[in-house]
Amino acid sequence: MTDLLLSQIDINSNSLTETDEYIVNLGPQHPATHGVLRLVVKLDGEVVKETMPVLGYLHRSIEKICENRTYPQCITYTDRVDYASAMSANLAYAMAAEKLLNIEIPPRAQWLRMIFVELQRIASHLLWLGAFAGDLGAFTPFLYGLRERERVLDLFEMTCGQRLTYNYIRIGGVMIDVLPEFVEKCRLFLDYFFKKVDEYEELLTYNPIFLERTKGVGFITPEEAINWGLAGPSLRGSGVSCDIRKQQPYLFYDQIDFKEEISYGGDCWSRYKVRMNEMRQCVSIIRQCLDHMGPGAVEAKLPPVLKGPNGQEAYSRIESSRGEMGVYLVGNGTPKPWKCKFRCASFNNLSVIDKLTRGWKVADIMAVLGSLDIIIPEVDR
Amino acid sequence: MSGSLKLLKLINVILEHVYKFLGLTNPIPEVINAFITAAISFAVISVFVMFLVWMERKVSAHMQSRIGPNRVGPFGLLQTLADAIKLTTKENMEPQKRDKIPYFIAPIIAFVATFMGVVVIPLDKGVTIQNLNIGVLYIIAITSFTVIGILTAGWSSNNKFSLIGGFRSAAQIISYEIPLVLSLVPVIMITGTLDLQKIVEYQAHAGYWFVGPQIIGFLVFLTASTAESNRAPFDIPEAESELTGGFHTEYSGIKFAMFFLGEYISIIIGSSVAVSVFLGGWIAPAFMNFLPVPGFFWFVIKVLLVIYLIMAFRWTFPRLRVDQLMDFGWKILIPIAILNIFLTGLWILWFSKGV
Amino acid sequence: MKKIVTYFKDIIVGLVNLILGMSVTIKYFFKKTNTQQYPEEKLPLPDRSRSLIKLIYDQEKEEFNCVACMMCQKACPNNCIKLEGARMPDGKRKMINFKLDFSTCIFCGYCVEACGFDALTFIPEDYENSVYQRGSLLHDEHALKWVRPTVASNPPRELNQSTQVI
């Protein structure tokens, strides 16, 4: 009997010690996949064999909606493309529209745009920091991060009246000039915040558990990172200089003295470090902007109805909190764009997740996902 | 004679009167006495656990500059009671394709196994529910039964997350048993007994606590007992951000409450052993010797301090990955614990020769 | 030998960093909390807050400022404003029916900016707009009616009038 059983087993196939792979659905309802991302993970024990992101759970067809809205109305939808960094999306769209419609922006508006986009970068990175630490199991930095983020949102609310979907940066400038006390409050916040970054670093950066979880995890070489189309801090974490603020300065970034933060590790820890340092750079940029900003108009004179020239197209690219954000607009002579396309960093950053997690453990999926700073509405749009 | 002992005696006396009143035989039958003691200790421990859950919420809240529960009762003290009522009255959701009997038994095993460890904890001089001369061994042996409950829960839930959580827990608890035992060995070598009462008495006579000479052992024990009770940063069996709930993903209502209670009881046991073995149990700190408080009071204070430390761990540190957890256990804790035993051996040898 | 030294050095450095991290959380444990207890303590809204849209009612003329120019309807990206106007016997245009659906309104502020007759405004007082029925969010001109308070007399504002269910 035993012989019969043994004879059925092919010795060479190694089937006695072979293990079965099984599939686990992480999401769309899962505590760690920020929002409604679904990851279909093929596992062998704890080891990840394959990760497949399934998109579309938050698809609202914003690009199509924009084709049926006038140029200014589209801005309200760009708020929803990336709700954690709405100012950047506003800016990218407004710049594309201004290029298409040939609008000159007054300098004060430019400075204000820079201040608000950088403040938004701080807010976005703070949210990321909390989510990243939360993914790794440390819940406390999340609340510290949100505490400071509230201060930024207070500044936003004071200026434009909203805390999440601002609709502040408009075609031709900004919605409204800041209040006189804004400058002082902003400086106070920056002083307060600069010290807080050290505190986060104290809590996490050289914590041995944090180091073990992030050092070397999700490694990607610079060449591969470029080939996969990574962008923003995720690419700079691999040691590639890709900051559009430096390479194709828009607004007045060429008049500002700041450093492009690059880290050469290529792992989760480097991406973390880049973002932490970027927050400090943001503080320095905002301080300089506040110094440079002079009085003046904040909105250009616009015709009552904005009509995109027929057949013309415009593309703008900015460095959003998550990386390169581009907006492509085509006009057709009507007040509505013929085509509006958003190029979002999160989508490209998410595509690399299979490459980064293959061969690692289940827990590393969360670390990698957190370090890429993905925001689902931007992926699905 | 200390106050808490008086209390226990008082309970006994009252019981005797009750028996007499009922016309039952005196002395009280051992079995009934045991049941009543178990019921009382269960009630006391449950209330203490409720307090701990409240404390954990408050501690975590203040560490995150929040307020925490403050609506139900004074300072939100009754919040846990409200939650307990909610959990017990909740509809019992069960997955359709669960393995019925193990699914039912698992939380009971996990809970009972941890709860049995309470028996030998020395609350005060001569006050233990049942003093055993192998107390340390008993605690370690009985609390490691928890893993069976967790593994059963993970297996019977018929859920992949639960299964991963269960296996992680098995691997973790088995490998952290070893440093846990090894960290206690030096103290046993010095005192020459496994009786927790005698270990504390040795510290009282010697005039120092073992946390001084055995600081390494204390740290190793604290880490390993945190891991034993599946607490962050070693909470990989439940790992919320990875496995949603780990082994108790499919449990709800009172069954979940039993796991929850078991976790906190294992914290209590872990820190009680740490206090008894390393922090001098019921002995008052030298500079506070004059205070007329029972030893039980000092014991509880010390236990709460250790629990506070464990809570601070949880709300500060990220979670380790499963293989790093194994690495940490096998490559750092065990060698250090063995080194500690070796050094202690040398120390004993040196002093016994000197004498 | 070198390996052994680095082994112990790593452990000690790790321990120091763990204690450093703990010092932050324990420091906050003894600090004052940052929580605002919402229903009791309400944060004041800034003047520019875009929280609730109101139709301005002129008490002296006893009519709404709105002349039904339709600019707000055109500006709205979500088509949540529906209004009807009519020419009065005296030749003036007057709004007779104004409906604002707050269930689709995104508070972008375009309608208020587009209004050239000082008829629409944001008020920074009220942000508790949740209701139990979706239909309750469709406000008509009675629910949206708001009288601009004069600074001198400072009359009590009738903001919390029950929103009419349609």
Render pLDDT for A295-317 as a digit per residue (tens, 0 to 9). 888 888 888 788 888 888 889 88
Q: What is the CATH number of the domain that holds A330?
A: 1.10.645.10
With CA atoms as reference, report the closest residue to A321 among A374, A380, A381, A257: A374
**Looking at the domain assignment, is residue C30 inside a domain?**
yes
- The DSSP result for C8-72, as a single string, is HHHHHHHHHHHHHHHHHHHHHHTSPP----TTTS-PPPPTT----EEEEEETTTTEES-----HH
Is residue A78 one of the residues assigned to a domain?
A: yes
Band of pLDDT at residue B1, cut at 50, 70 and 90: very low
Which of A26, A47, A143 to mutate against chain B (most B CBs within 10 Å)?
Answer: A143
Work out the widest C-alpha separation in chain A, in whole angstroms.
95
Choose among B67, B315, B332: nearest Cβ to C25.
B315
Per-residue pLDDT for B327 more than 60? yes
Interface predicted TM-score (ipTM) = 0.80
The residue written with tokens 């040795």 in the block is B202
Over range A35-56, report the average pLDDT.
Answer: 84
Q: Which residues pair with A313 in a beta bridge?
A: A330
- Cα separation, A164 vs C108, whole angstroms: 11
Going by their DSSP bridges, the two strands A47-54 and A38-44 should be labelled as: antiparallel
Residue A92 has pLDDT above 80, yes or no: yes
Q: In angstroms, rounded to a whole number, what is the distance separating the alpha carbons of residues A28 and C75? A: 36
pLDDT tops 70 at residue C153:
no
A183 has a chain C CB within 8 A of its CB: no
Print the domain residue range for A293.
59-380
| Number of domains composing chain C | 2
Burial class (CB in 10 A: 0-12, 13-18, 19+), A226: middle
From CA C33, how far away is CA B302, in angstroms rounded? 26
In a domain, C40, yes or no: no
In one letter, which amino acid is A334? T
Please state the φ and ψ torsions of residue A257, each to the nearest 5 degrees.
Answer: -100, 105
Verify whether the Cβ–Cβ distance B313 to C21 is below 8 Å: no
Helical (H) or strand (E) element with A170 = strand A169-170
* Dihedral, C100, C102, C107, C109 alpha carbons, nearest 10: 0
Q: Domain for residue A30, yes or no?
A: no
Q: What is the pTM of this model?
A: 0.85
In this structure, the answer to whether residues C80 and C124 fall within a common structural domain is yes
Q: Is residue A331 part of a domain?
A: yes
The whole-number average pLDDT for the span B186-207 is 82
At residue B50, does pLDDT exceed 60? yes
Q: What is the rounded average pLDDT of the residues A319-339? A: 87
Which tokens sit at B254?
């009172």
Substitution target in A75, A196, A206, A209 with the highest count of C β-carbons within 10 Å is A206
For residues B77 and B97, membership in a common domain is answered with: no
C69 plus C129 within the same structural domain: yes
Whether B220 and B277 have beta carbons less than 8 Å apart is answered as: no
Q: Shortest CB distance from B65 goes to which of C22, C26, C31?
A: C31
Q: Measured in whole angstroms, how far is the alpha carbon of residue C137 from the centre of its chain?
A: 14
Mind giving me the DSSP string for B186-241? HHHHHH----HHHHHHHHHHHTS-TTTTTHHHHHHHHHHHHHHTT-TTS-TTT-HH
Domain that holds residue B215: 90-350
| Chain A nearest CA to B172, separation (Å) | 14
Greater model confidence, A76 or B287: A76
For residue B27, what pLDDT is reported?
Answer: 61
CATH number at residue C122: 3.30.70.3270
Per-residue model confidence (pLDDT) at position B23: 67
Please tell me which residue of chain A has the smallest CA distance to B59: A140
- The answer, for C31 touching chain B at a CB cutoff of 8 Å, is yes
Domain that holds residue C9: 1-34
Q: Which percentage of chain A shows pLDDT scores above 70?
A: 94
The beta-carbon contacts of A7-12 under 8 Å, at least 24 apart in sequence, are none
Domain count, chain A: 1
- Nearest CB among B64, B233, B323 relative to A137 is that of B233
Does residue B111 form part of some domain?
yes
Cis before C124 (ω within 30): no
- Is residue C153 one of the residues assigned to a domain? no
